[in-house]
Copies of this chain bind each other. A is one copy, B any other.
Amino acid sequence: MEGLSTVCGAGSTQSRNSIAIHIYAANSDMKDRAFYNSDGDFLIVPQLGTLDIQTEFGHLEVPPNHICVIQRGILFSVRLPSGPSRGYICEVFNGHYELPDLGPIGANGLAAPRDFEIPVAAFEERTCDFTVVSKYQGRLFQRKQDFSPFNVVAWHGNYAPYRYDLSRFMVINATSFDHADPSIFTVLTCKSVEPGVAVADFVIFPPRWAVQDHTFRPPYYHRNCMSEFMGLILGEYEAKKEGFMPGGASLHSTMAPHGPDRTTFDRASTEVLKPVRVADGTQAFMFETHFMMNCTPWGLKTCGKIQPDYYKVWQDLKSNFYSK
């Protein structure tokens, strides 16, 4: 996939116990070229521009506020009908994305199985100079052939790419008092073999009602045993109104304390609590992993987008215990 830059990752592909987060930015179609990833599965989150993805299983159209998953070994080619394109990819090297077990949420809630759309079989019988690129253990290999590989006429089984429209997410949250964990916004999870410990969770912060009484409603201040990589698809994020733009990203590492900025703290601490809409017209998301992430040179420097004074948003916060 053209223009793909890796931001951060953990583990190594060789141990299969690892994860990588990429950002892509592309301007042109993959003409007579296809790609497959031998290493793991891609969860793709377009932020700008619709992706028209041709796969061996058929076509997927993926506009922003939708996601798609293309699994290990599946050939695909991307067209950009709406012009330049930008987005996020979370690659997992073992296991697959699946719906979380819902527990007491029961039979309905969060993402519904019936909203995950798989392609209708489609094929082309076409002679041409075609190039297939494969990523194997992080390196790229290519082969040439004189026909299109999208010549699969039918398929069965459940190993197939799919897309999901994030606006279909049925939001669950606290409706009397107190604050639910962000895990309640989990769309998909890639489980590790350790129960309760995710290789990767894909979590969104969708439009919804907030009604909790006697509660500090923004995300609370916390340290976490997970790494939190946040991105923004649309609008502005509810816990950080400034400095976090669509297409941007933040990474809060394992055990690094974080929370809302001073302005958000003050507002949320003083406003009268009644039912309000939050996050209308916006869609922030999080890739969360139990791995400790390393940033690539691209992520730390080459991209040229680092906010060196990000930490200052917390500088203003005061100790409130006695002085209050």
Q: Known contacts A209-B211, A211-B275; is A174 also within 8 Å of B109 by CB?
A: yes
Q: Mark A88-123, 1 if CB is under 8 A from B, else 0.
A: 000000110000111111111110001000000000
Which chain B residues border A193 with CB–CB below 8 Å?
193-194
**20 further interface pairs, Cβ-Cβ under 8 Å (given A105-B105, A107-B181):** A12-B15, A14-B294, A36-B255, A38-B254, A73-B225, A95-B194, A103-B103, A104-B183, A147-B319, A169-B176, A170-B174, A171-B174, A171-B176, A172-B172, A173-B175, A176-B207, A193-B194, A209-B275, A211-B211, A211-B275
**Chain A interface size range:** 35 or more
Are A13 and B184 closer than 8 Å at their CB atoms?
no
Which chain B residues border A137 with CB–CB below 8 Å?
292, 294
Counted per complex, copies of this chain come to 6
> Counting CB contacts under 8 A, is A283 at the interface?
no
A-B pairs with beta carbons under 8 Å apart, 18 shown: A11-B15, A15-B18, A38-B292, A101-B104, A102-B103, A104-B105, A104-B184, A105-B183, A106-B180, A107-B181, A108-B180, A137-B292, A153-B321, A171-B175, A172-B174, A172-B184, A175-B175, A175-B209
Which chain B residues border A170 with CB–CB below 8 Å?
174, 176-178
Within A139-170, the residues touching B (CB, 8 Å) are 147, 151, 153, 156, 169-170
Q: Which of A110, A178, A209 counts the most B-chain CB atoms under 10 A from its CB? A: A209
Which chain B residues border A156 with CB–CB below 8 Å?
114
Cα distance A85–B292 in the bound complex, in angstroms: 32
> Counting CB contacts under 8 A, is A134 at the interface?
yes
Chief secondary structure at chain A's binding surface? loop
Residue in B closest to A159 when the chains form the complex, CB atoms: B225
> Counting CB contacts under 8 A, is A267 at the interface?
no
> Counting CB contacts under 8 A, is A136 at the interface?
yes
Q: Which residues of A contact B (CB under 8 A)?
A: 10-18, 36, 38-39, 72-73, 94-95, 100-110, 114, 125, 134, 136-137, 147, 151, 153, 156, 169-184, 186, 193-194, 206-211, 223, 225, 253-256, 275, 290-292, 294, 319, 321-322
Are A105 and B292 closer than 8 Å at their CB atoms?
no
A191 nearest CB across to chain B (Å) = 10
